[in-house]
Structure 1
Amino acid sequence: MSTPIVFASAPSRSRSLFGDQEQDDMSKLLGLALNQRKSALPSREVEGLRKMLGGTSLGGTSLGGTGLSKDCDCGACPYCRGVMDASYDKARRNLRREAPVAPLSGAATPSSSYLRRAAVPSKFTTDVRPLVVIAIDGVLDAPLPYHLQGGYDDVLSRPYLRTFFDYLLSRESPYCFCFYSSLPRKQALRTLEELNLPTGGPERDERDGCVGLFAADDTHPNFGGKGIKDLEVIWKELEKEEGIRWGVENTVVITCRDEFPLQPFNYILCPETEYLSSVAPADDIFLLLAIACLKDLETESNFAAHIKEFDWHKPQIWSSRDEHSVNERNSYLLLAVRTCAVLRINIKAFRGNLRKSG
């Protein structure tokens, strides 16, 4: 899924008619030609060439050198512009708090400890305080193309989004939940506001049910941004903030990307929602099916084992048209409708901007 394109202010363009790369090439070609002549040009011609190249240093009046002078401070030559651009980029990175994301060490495969824990059969239990980790991008929203946006973060909500969160935030729901996104934190927060969803986190009192947001520019190696995700990062961070140690047995991720190879049985892989879709809003029922899945997991002692048993981590069950998959989705839909009826939750398939719609 593509994310909205944000046009940030960029470093000033070259003052000459040439771009930086073209100007460097011109400097090299000019120096080579002048070296072949092995003769000095009058200073008037040197000055003319220097102005034509936007202030490029030509190694003095003899044109003996072809490189750029590192002592130059004219502010117009490629060397000076390179220094200014580097300073600008550094300041911009500091402003956006773009912390380097450390790559995963070793093979991106589940550990033997994880496989042992995931293999323990799940049993009925009522003593559980589970965690739902929800991807914003592609699961909850579809960003509008840039030329159609009224703002940088205008999005279309997925059908039944309000119904899904009415269940999560109901008094009878045992779940805590957090979000993650490939967007920078500031933009991810604006997206949640556009969807009229809670933002939670340690900076608030958390009465809205959300315990955190993991964004691309946060200092969380191997979780923020794009690429492979490691649930250990979330478990450790939330343990420090919430005092609860979640793990393999009581965590489920709802995502549309297969990016959890380290915990392959702890996520539900759903179809991605898109701006242009051939599916009518009322027919995109995944968030209703997700209610049924979470309701089913409420009383399970081992989420990973249960998800693996029912293949929720495979996309076929949510999109295949074979008889078995269709019948299974219908049974989940029936459970979701019953759950909403008991909790007196309205079932709405609205697809649009929830904040602007009220």
Structure 2
Amino acid sequence: MKHHKLFKQYAVTLLLILPLLVFTSACSDDDDDPVTPTINEAELLVAELEGANGDYLNTSCPAIVKADAVYEDVTGTKTFHVIDIRAAADYDLGHVPTSVNVNSADIFTHMATINAADYDKIVIVCYTGQTAGWVVGLMRMSGITNVYSMKYGMSSWHSDFDKITPNKGSSASFVTTAAPAKPAAGSLPAISTGKSTGAEILADRVAAVHANGFGAVAITATEVLSAPDQYFIINYWSEGDYLGIGHIDGSYQYTPKVDLKLSAALMTLPTNKTIVVYCYTGQTSANVAAILSVLGYDAKTLKFGTQAMIWQTMIDAGKTAYNADNDHDCWGFDYEK
């Protein structure tokens, strides 16, 4: 009888404890479920760009070929594939012999119809070289490593197409003060493509930036100089030229191929302010703006570069600036209609 009573007490206790054991076991199972790791897309993207993608920004940017090299090829060996991205009406008025007319919005569709490796160079031609530079930046990030922009675009082919001279200016007041210290390093822009690898994230970001068009990253000198405090302005020159030639007052000096690496000063760029990059002619800054835009920054290229602000100063200093009277800037080559 005593044993029977103990068994009954044990059974009752077991009935009370069993649900707790099941609940605890369920909780334990939940705790043991693997946690999906958080993906930092911005870090993966930078690692891809600076690693497997070849780090174009900090190695061979800008990829530019001069008009005379293009002329020699299209009238001789024909190893270049020349793509003119100007409006069809302007292409019809005159273009580089053998070139094909492709809207910049359709450039990747066109590239899918050819084998880039069949050509020594893929050459992108626009009006002044700046839109082409932006396109080349996107194409380089897409793995097309033999693509170049033609320096100064059709403005360098023949004076009939000169779009730079009407836009040059020399009235801006540059200063020669020391560069302000770069901001403290912060964070990379937040990116959310839903992709899980650097290559996939890069492809998604290039497509998004390309879809917005060059107009989304272009800004005029008038806009910038009328309200410079609204922008984080980057002088993308050497420190020697920054101080020797002068610069927009308050602009920061970032050395090409050095400062925009993750291990250097990339993270000193603001994620909450429009970044304006300017260079000599706008062709380099167009590449840079394309790459920074893909990284998630609100980046713009200053149209025509310093040619729109201090053209005469650049000419006097012997620096890169388009001069229609210089045979090596405007070659006067024959063109097709």
Same fold, TM-score > 0.5, yes or no: no
Pairwise TM-score range, normalised by the shorter structure: under 0.3
TM-score when scaled to structure 2? 0.22
More helix per residue: 1 or 2? 2
TM-score when scaled to structure 1? 0.21
